[in-house]
Amino acid sequence: MTALGSQSTPQPLNAHGFPIPVSPASSQPPINTPSEPTIPYSWDEWHPNVQLIYIRDHLEANRELERLDSHVYGFDLEWKPTFVKGQAKNPVALVQIANHKTILLLQVTAMQEFPSKLCEFLANPNIVKAGVGIQGDAQKLYEDWGVDMANCADLGLLARTVDNDKWKGKYTNPLGLARLVAVYEDRMLGKGKITRSNWERVLTEPQQIYAANDAHAGYVIYTRLMTIMPSVSPQPNLRCYSFDTVRGRLCEPSGATWRAFNPNYDPGPLPPPREPKPPKPRKPATDTATEPSNHAIASIARGPGNATALPAPQSISNPLRVSDNRGNRGFRGNSSPRPPNHAQPRPFQFPSQSNPTFSRFDNNSLRRYGPPGPRTSQPRYPPTTGREIQSPAATTSQPSGQSSCEMNKS
């Protein structure tokens, strides 16, 4: 039974004839006031009759891709993460395609070959592939599998193009898919450890649900933003948010290099400048003229009973100053720092008789001991005799039959 005066309003339908779920924030939320949603996003809430298909065979993938008849699809990729710094990224393992009827999860790493129908699907310019950060996905897909894409729509650029009043800042600043879902659908797109799971193994049920939600959310956000497109004036060019890839290079349909640019985009006022950091307090400068030298030694006073007593600090006229030379490699105790050695190395010269300074055997050695011979066990120099070590007085000749005493008397 309906209350008096109440009228039932029909539920609005989207462009494909399916009812749009009514949520508290179905209209565009005001700026700077969105509260974090608590209801998790789920694809079956929007399209309960959608068919989720997980495929690991290229023949089955070709059959399912031939049945697709829509012109707009959400698109996403997954690959096994790397946990070692500097290690190359793993190839694309999973390709996700979703619309209001079908969600395809194609695990290409488990297939014998890349599906041919998938190449035709991605290169078809009449089919929109919508995703967040799809530029990097398109380039990686070519690097790993050599497949180009056409008519790729970046949802972050599309949101800034059709809803400029809500999104300010640099035009190319990325907008995450979870943020777009929270703003336009008031749902929480779950992220967590499952994003860093292994996408090359057989997918578990939580992995399939996560991958399906990502691709389906891209489709839902694209259709929601396109409903705002007719109110935009002037109408934006397709090049503002859409591009193709040719051999992995982002380009326009004409073949020119593509770059994200919108001449009618208003980035808003510049952000306020950052407050300068307060300067760090400097250490008080010490007066080097009044400081004692490093060689000053404090005298120790004698107390009663000849006991050593340290004087008070204020009574020391010239206290010992500790020199801060702990980091000086040339510091030697309490002496002055070692002066730098700027002497150049002496050039090498071959020993010769013309240059006796650098000769190993000078002329006196040659005359006394002869030229150097081969190494033997004999000593290098001839052994000394008693005659060579006697004093000159002992070597003086004495007349026969006369003693030294008699010589002294004479």
pTM for the predicted model, two decimal places? 0.61
CA proximity to 130, closest of 44, 254, 220: 220
Rounded Cα distance between 119 and 261, Å, is 28
pLDDT of residue 265: 95
pLDDT of residue 345: 61
CA proximity to 258, closest of 162, 150, 141: 150
pLDDT of residue 273: 84
pLDDT of residue 193: 87
pLDDT of residue 343: 54
Q: At what angle do helices 177-184 and 205-228 cross, to 10 degrees?
A: 60
pLDDT of residue 105: 97
pLDDT of residue 157: 97
Below-50 pLDDT ranges, the chain:
1-8, 23-33, 294-302, 319, 322-323, 325, 328, 330-331, 358-359, 361, 388-401, 403-410
For residue 308, the one-letter residue type is: T
CA proximity to 246, closest of 231, 256, 232: 256
pLDDT of residue 23: 47
pLDDT of residue 140: 96
CATH assignment of 43-251, given 3.30.420.10, 3.40.50.970, 3.40.50.10420, 3.40.50.2300?
Answer: 3.30.420.10
pLDDT of residue 358: 45
Q: Which tens digits make up the pLDDT trace of 147-194? A: 999 999 999 999 999 999 999 999 999 999 999 999 999 999 987 888
Six token digits for residue 325: 């030379």
pLDDT of residue 28: 46
Rounded Cα distance between 151 and 140, Å, is 16
Helix (H/G/I), strand (E/B), else coil: 131: strand
Strand partners, 355: 352
The radius of gyration computed from the CA coordinates of the chain, to the nearest angstrom, equals 46
So where are the chain's domains? 43-251
